[in-house]
Structure 1
């Protein structure tokens, strides 16, 4: 067997084993336990739980999400899980960055060219449905994630769920 295929199979087996232990756990923690990337874990989720679309869909995906209202943006690294509530605003490209500035606490500069695909993730998380859009880099990690918000009763905001589901279908084509 080709060593790269063997390596891919080995990563998938480790990801599946770690996922079996915590099927609704934090993807990054499952990946660390299995010594694989978060992308490896997303790839072994049940069918439809992680739908990948090409990074070329960035502009359309971002533009649609600017109409979702207040979302939860998460940046998860080995050192921090940063959570910011706010609306996404239009971005512009300049000097090699995707720049976001506007009337929102979410702002900054993103190396858009490092995005290799966008994952629409719809899975259980600690007993509840969770819907998010992950902008993935070539290292198999999420650059950042945009989550459908929850209301005061911890239920997903239905309008955002509908927009997430529609965008997932539209972006795949």
Structure 2
């Protein structure tokens, strides 16, 4: 089952984007009383393209070769960020188990709950930004993986290329 969107929401999102295209999806969700997944589903195709949640394991298996990424998990108003190479993982006991080394992400993901995966290219604080968002059927964001930046805060061009290749492969 995919994220269900209220019929009036797309126009409201379009109006907000016309006012300020840099407004974060999380802020739009609060202001429009919608889930982050619902808002992301309403972004124009130039900003967000989707694939099925059953592609999560494939996507996660690609990320360890991309280099330093930023993984974000938001819970109860707090935001956790890990800036490191994305760890390798494998399925076991109903979880996708991240096997991070010291300083890397480590954990157990219920990827069976992921229904929608978004490849998002949306400006953030005046800078281009790219991430892969993993969403549940209720539109909850389980986590996001952002492309990394160099010391000058520029995106790594090779990651941008890998992001676009994977998006084209899975969202076409």
Q: TM-score, normalised by structure 2?
A: 0.89
Alignment CA distance shift 1:102-1:78 (3 Å): closer
Deviations 1:51-80 (A, max 9, x none): 100112112211111110111001123421
Is the Cα–Cα contact under 8 Å of residues 54 and 112 in structure 2 kept in the other structure?
no
Runs of 4+ that moved beyond 4 A:
none
Instruction: Measure the CA separation in 2 of the matches of 1:42 and 1:102.
Output: 29
Is the Cα–Cα contact under 8 Å of residues 13 and 43 in structure 2 kept in the other structure?
no
Indicate whether 1:162 and 2:161 are aligned: yes
The CA deviation at 1:17 is 3.6
Deviations 1:99-148 (A, max 9, x none): 11132521101111110021000111111110101111111121100000
Structure 1 range deviating more: 93-102 or 146-155: 93-102
Is the Cα–Cα contact under 8 Å of residues 51 and 168 in structure 1 kept in the other structure?
yes
The match for 1:118 is 117
Q: For structure 1, list consecutive stretches of 5 or more residues without a partner in the other structure.
A: none
Larger radius of gyration: 1
Q: TM-score, normalised by structure 1?
A: 0.88
Is the Cα–Cα contact under 8 Å of residues 149 and 156 in structure 1 kept in the other structure?
yes
The CA deviation at 1:47 is 2.2
Q: For structure 2, list consecutive stretches of 5 or more residues without a partner in the other structure.
A: none
RMSD across aligned C-alpha pairs, in angstroms? 1.9
Matched positions, count: 168
The higher relative CO (CA closer than 8 Å, separation ≥ 6) is in 2
